[in-house]
Amino acid sequence: MSTFSRRKFLTTAGLSTVSAIALNACTGGGETTKTDATSSASPSSPAMNVSAADTPEVTKAKLGFIALTDASPLIIAKEKGLFEKYGMKDVEVLKQASWGTTRDNIALGSDAGGIDGAHILSPIPYLLSEGKITNGKKVPMYILARLNTNGQGISIANEFKDLKVALKSDALKESFAKIKAGGKDVKCAVTFPGGTHDLWMRYWLAANGVDPNNDVNTIVVPPPQMVANMKAGNMQAFCVGEPWNARLVAQNSGYSALITGEIWKDHPEKAFSLRADWVDKNPKAAKALLMAVLEAQMWCEKPENKAEMCKIVGADKWLKVPAAEILGRQQGKVDYGDGRTLDNPDLSMKFWKDSASYPFKSHDLWFITEDMRWGYFNADTDAKKLVDKVNREDLWKEAAKAIGQEAAIPKSTSRGVETFFDGVKFDPENPSEYLKGLKIKKA
């Protein structure tokens, strides 16, 4: 781990006592048996019989997940028997306590008691591949699919309600400055240094004139511990995936300043990633896993499946959250907790619609550029070369064709120019120009 990352992780040590109960509740294994609904496994329900030529090299894989709604494709693939359907009958889907635990278990690999891959923050496979978070030891990774777009949030303490702190807030910089002037630290919690939540938090702060490196302390807290720590007054704001923002509102312990689809509509979020050596050794097994995940994503996307999905993933062995607290935001119905509401399915978490599953290389290029912005990658990193090494969109295309979804393959590896809420544009053809134009940055 880099000195920067290590320092960030150490800042969370003081939070562990407050969060012990929440952590213990969320570290149980997630291995389960199939539900009775296996027959409705897919919207297209392809009758797939694995041919001898396509028989996976192995039937076992260990996949990690964090207790977040965007882990649903892996959970549904397990619960609906989709891994078995494609010949992977011994897949384990194992709950991880934090993204740091996920990193450590991937670095170990299943042969050494770890895992083969995971539901993961999209930048982590790049940081692993370059040894940026493993004390210089490179752990080559492949990204096989994007698991979702949208579906995260930035929550803030109730003390800011009267200031109406939201997506664009002139009061944010001044209010944080007053807290610092009073001798207190301003703490903004994220889930992993250089991960998506870190980048959404930093983008939002910087767009509102707050320097994430100097005006606030960015601390690291695992997703399931966010609500408990906000209730205990350990931070002023946090960025995390659902259902934890909705759970905070349900408990009246804070409110949502924004949902991340408002920062960048249909932004990429989690990825399905595997160790490169596992994929290279077991290409047919990797394809089988990917086919199961894609089919699960299609199932999760269908509106008529949302209630069942929330009931399944909300169970104690998975997220341990009431289904009712997951469903609303899955449908695009947001109670911000400060009197504002939203009913817009187009800003909700997407698993398949609008090419949500496709791992656009242009999106990974943005992640690396932003990690360069904040010093997680060196300023001279060859981002395009790194993306080409880690992003395996070719495997996504193969799997999509195999399950009859060739029409879902985008015409380009780039989604084109992206526009953020503050009017800033990212052109994947010229990322250096984007980086040069940002006012607040470390790079």
Per-domain boundaries in the chain: 24-149+268-322+350-419
Q: What is the largest CA-CA distance in the chain?
A: 70
Where the chain has pLDDT below 70, the residues are 1-49
Q: Which of 126, 200, 2 minimizes the C-alpha distance to 382?
A: 126
Question: What local confidence, expressed as pLDDT, does residue 39 receive?
Answer: 36
Rounded (10°) CA dihedral 211, 213, 215, 219: 120
Quick one: CA dihedral 21, 25, 26, 29, positive or negative?
A: positive
Separation between Cα atoms, residue 121 and residue 371, nearest integer Å = 13
Q: Which residues pair with 259 in a beta bridge?
A: 153
The answer to whether the beta carbons of residues 29 and 256 sit under 8 Å apart is: no
Checking DSSP bridges between strand 270-275 and strand 117-121, what pairing results, if any? antiparallel
* Architecture (CATH level 2) of domain 24-149+268-322+350-419: 3-Layer(aba) Sandwich (3.40)
**What is the pTM for the complete model shown?**
0.90
Q: How many other C-beta atoms can be found within 10 angstroms of the C-beta atom of residue 283? A: 14
Question: What local confidence, expressed as pLDDT, does residue 40 receive?
Answer: 38
Given the structure tokens 């100097």, which residue do they identify? 214
Q: Residues 250-287: pLDDT tens digits?
A: 999 999 999 999 999 999 999 999 999 999 999 999 99
The answer to whether the beta carbons of residues 86 and 48 sit under 8 Å apart is: yes
Q: Which of 225, 227, 193 minimizes the C-alpha distance to 212?
A: 193
Question: What local confidence, expressed as pLDDT, does residue 443 receive?
Answer: 72
Up-side HSE of residue 198: CA atoms within 13 Å toward CB?
28
DSSP letters spanning 47-90: -----GGG--S-SEEEEEE-SSGGGHHHHHHHHTTHHHHTT-TE
Separation between Cα atoms, residue 78 and residue 190, nearest integer Å = 28
Separation between Cα atoms, residue 140 and residue 123, nearest integer Å = 13
Can you say how many angstroms the Cα of residue 48 is from the centroid of all Cα atoms in its chain?
30
Question: What local confidence, expressed as pLDDT, does residue 401 receive?
Answer: 97
What 3-state DSSP class applies to 309? helix
Separation between Cα atoms, residue 177 and residue 171, nearest integer Å = 10
Q: Which of 124, 144, 123, 147 minimizes the C-alpha distance to 73?
A: 147
Question: What local confidence, expressed as pLDDT, does residue 50 receive?
Answer: 76
Separation between Cα atoms, residue 104 and residue 128, nearest integer Å = 10
Rounded (10°) CA dihedral 342, 347, 348, 349: -160
The answer to whether the beta carbons of residues 129 and 389 sit under 8 Å apart is: yes
Q: Which of 159, 141, 81, 204 minimizes the C-alpha distance to 387?
A: 141
Q: Give the Cα-Cα-Cα angle 124, 193, 182 (nearest 5 degrees).
A: 165
Can you say how many angstroms the Cα of residue 235 is from the centroid of all Cα atoms in its chain?
21
Given the structure tokens 């889907």, which residue do they identify? 93
Given the structure tokens 């341990």, which residue do they identify? 320
Q: Which residues pair with 256 in a beta bridge?
A: 155
Q: Which two tokens stand for residue 253?
A: 């312990």
The H or E element containing residue 365 is helix 361-373
